[in-house]
Structure 1
Amino acid sequence: MATPKLGWVIYNGHLGGKKFLDFAEWIQRAAKAQGIEMKIIKNNALLGMVGTDNSLLNDEQQLPDFVVFSDKDIPLAQQLEAMGIPLYNSSKSIAVCDNKILMYQALAEAGIRIPKTIIAPKIFPGTMPIQLDTFNPAIVELGFPMVVKEAFGSFGEQVYLIHNKEALHQKISEIGTNPFVLQEYIQTSHGRDIRINIVGGKIVASMIRTSDTDFRANVSRGGSMQQYTPTEKESELAITAAYAVGTDFAGVDLLFGPGEEPLVCEVNSNAHIRSIYDCTGVDVTESIISYIKEVLS
């Protein structure tokens, strides 16, 4: 394929707030600087027509050479791929990263070190009350405190530090039928982690995040950030994790395990890039567009 001339960057048209459009605008600017026209498209402006001739109902007259898919509308991503349009990231990698259960399974299958993780059983809406005794073996295995993470959530939300059995039962009852995992609490990483941005199997930026007020170090939750040079072991782990979940670009979060041994906290297929830019001065979108050009040319 020749060097791409037209791209789309897709974001969610129903989400308020500047941060989702922000990433799209940065991608558009980086593409323009590298000679590519980049249109910003809302996901709800594209209606997929499924059939023997897959297509879209939309106002765009020309289909793109590629799409930077910065949303989690996985059926739309699959529809675009069915039409032969390359996606970055792919629908499969977005689906894996969006669901923490699938993400941890993919990382474990690749032999990547993660906190000890237990999957909660599926509960259908409208069925009998949650059988809380089901979780007794997890309490024995993990002890307290433990971390409960809903399968779907971003920016450190839907992640809870649980200190006793009563609090665990209350949180499970609140979560209800949403899928979740129970996870080992890594005390040595309390209030600190590393964010490493990977593009095309290479590290392009990294920072350490710390919080004095929360066990989560997310900047969106008040954490502070500082430029950081990862060790060789941390670098290899982050690159391997991004590859294991199938991403072309990702933000990989590492925890400090006992003895400072790194563990993968999670891989973000749609990591926002303003904070890493504010911290390091590195515009990750420039590397994303350069990588796509190289792959497609």
Structure 2
Amino acid sequence: MKLLMLCREPRLYSCQRLQQAAASGGHQMDIFDPNRCLLKLSVNPPHFQLYYQANRNADPILLDKYDAVLPRFGTSSTKMGCAVLQHFAAQRIYCLNHANAFALARDKWQSLQLLLQNGIPVPSSFLSGCEFTAENAVRTATKSAVQNNVEQAESSLILKTLSGSQGIGVMLTEKPQSAVSLLETLTQAQISVLLQDFIAEADGADIRCFVIGEQVVATMQRKGQSGEFRANCHRGGVTEKIQLTQQEKQIAINATKAIGLDVAGVDLIRSKQGVLVLEVNASPGLEMIEKTSGIDIATQMISFIERKVTESVNIL
């Protein structure tokens, strides 16, 4: 097969591992930055074309057709990356995570709404309009946390920007006054943010599940450094192996399906209310979870693509 990965940083561990796994399977994989693409639509006959400019001084080249596309772009490339994905999907080329699902996963609030709509447990969360006062938003969120018997509910709340990754845009406020001040500042800057219960009993730990299709292929527990509530590895968190219950695995699979993804990193947290889904990541990193679990996730992803492409060919 001829594969295309959409990624701005080809040197990243995940990109290198997937390219190696593709080569081991006898496939060619190109890695292109979606922000360097030019999309063309023509009407007679209906036609989709894509040009790529490797650098500012290079002449654009018309790309050949690919058998499948792997999206691995970051939040700064979401809009153009999804446009490129849709361009390929319109040509009936298989995309490992479709544009609509990818964009949905990047919006923390809309993805939480859809998860709860599908019966998947999430932390109590609040999103206020720009004319709803920050003081009332924080008071309502804090009152709800007390009613839910959340530890330290009288003071602590999590604030999250609607887009962001690797722990960026996630803030812990230990006093209501701090939450009000921060929410007012972000609202004034026209940055949308949600409020969420702080799950103190998790002790700075969460669980990353790597889902491919309808299977959890690898897991790890992440724990933040002393004094750090975020468990993300990019924030200095440490990882270890962990065994999940069948119920926890099923929740991760259901969350992936609810968002409409084929591959996802699902973050879970164990609370007094049971296991909750914090987030569903459409482009989960491979490095720490492969090294922690000892599982070759990259090869499993390529094998999944092989099956999907074969199925699509048989259908056609």
Taking structure 1 as the reference length, what is the TM-score of the superposition? 0.88
Amino acid at match of 1:78: Q
Runs of 4+ in 1 over 4 A off after TM superposition: none
Q: What is the DSSP-based 3-state SS (H/G/I as helix, E as strand, rest coil) of the residue aligned with 1:256?
A: strand
Q: Give 1:113's match in structure 2, choosing from 121, 134, 137.
A: 121
Q: What is the DSSP-based 3-state SS (H/G/I as helix, E as strand, rest coil) of the residue aligned with 1:54?
A: strand
* d(CA) in 1 for partners of 2:27, 2:298: 13
1:75 matched to 2:56? The reply is: no
Q: Give 1:201's match in structure 2, choosing from 186, 189, 214.
A: 214
Q: Give 1:280's match in structure 2, choosing from 289, 293, 301.
A: 293
- Could you tell me how far 1:134 is from its partner in structure 2? 4.7
Q: Give 1:10's match in structure 2, choosing from 6, 14, 22.
A: 6
Amino acid at match of 1:185: F
Trace 1:127-276 onto structure 2 (pairs within 5 A). Answer: 131-135=133-137, 136-142=139-145, 143=153, 144-175=155-186, 176-211=189-224, 212-258=226-272, 261-276=274-289
Q: What is the DSSP-based 3-state SS (H/G/I as helix, E as strand, rest coil) of the residue aligned with 1:89?
A: coil
Residue 39 of structure 2 corresponds to 48
Residue 34 of structure 1 corresponds to 25
Deviations 1:244-290 (A, max 9, x none): 1111111111101117x211111111011101112122121111110
Percent identity of equivalent pairs: 26
Answer yes or no: is the 8 Å Cα contact 2:50–2:62 preserved in 1. no
In the superposition, relative to structure 1, how do residues 55 and 228 fare at CA in structure 2: closer, same or farther (>3 Å)?
same
- Could you tell me how far 1:119 is from its partner in structure 2? 1.6
* d(CA) in 1 for partners of 2:159, 2:95: 32
In the superposition, relative to structure 1, how do residues 131 and 118 fare at CA in structure 2: closer, same or farther (>3 Å)?
closer
Deviations 1:41-99 (A, max 9, x none): 11123211245333222325411011001113222222222233221111111111101
- Could you tell me how far 1:154 is from its partner in structure 2? 0.2
Q: What is the DSSP-based 3-state SS (H/G/I as helix, E as strand, rest coil) of the residue aligned with 2:217?
A: strand
* d(CA) in 2 for partners of 1:252, 1:132: 30
Answer yes or no: is the 8 Å Cα contact 2:13–2:286 preserved in 1. no
* d(CA) in 2 for partners of 1:115, 1:51: 46
Amino acid at match of 2:3: G
Amino acid at match of 2:38: L
Deviations 1:149-178 (A, max 9, x none): 110000111011112222112211332312
Residue 313 of structure 2 corresponds to none
Structure 2: which 5+ residue stretches go unaligned? 53-60, 146-152, 311-316
How many matched pairs? 281
Q: What is the DSSP-based 3-state SS (H/G/I as helix, E as strand, rest coil) of the residue aligned with 1:154?
A: coil
Amino acid at match of 1:49: K
Taking structure 2 as the reference length, what is the TM-score of the superposition? 0.83
Answer yes or no: is the 8 Å Cα contact 1:255–1:263 preserved in 2. yes
Two-structure CA RMSD over aligned residues (Å): 1.9
- Could you tell me how far 1:220 is from its partner in structure 2? 1.1
In the superposition, relative to structure 1, how do residues 43 and 284 fare at CA in structure 2: closer, same or farther (>3 Å)?
same
1:292 matched to 2:294? The reply is: no
Answer yes or no: is the 8 Å Cα contact 1:8–1:39 preserved in 2. yes
Q: What is the DSSP-based 3-state SS (H/G/I as helix, E as strand, rest coil) of the residue aligned with 1:287?
A: helix
Deviations 1:197-227 (A, max 9, x none): 1111111111111123311111111111111
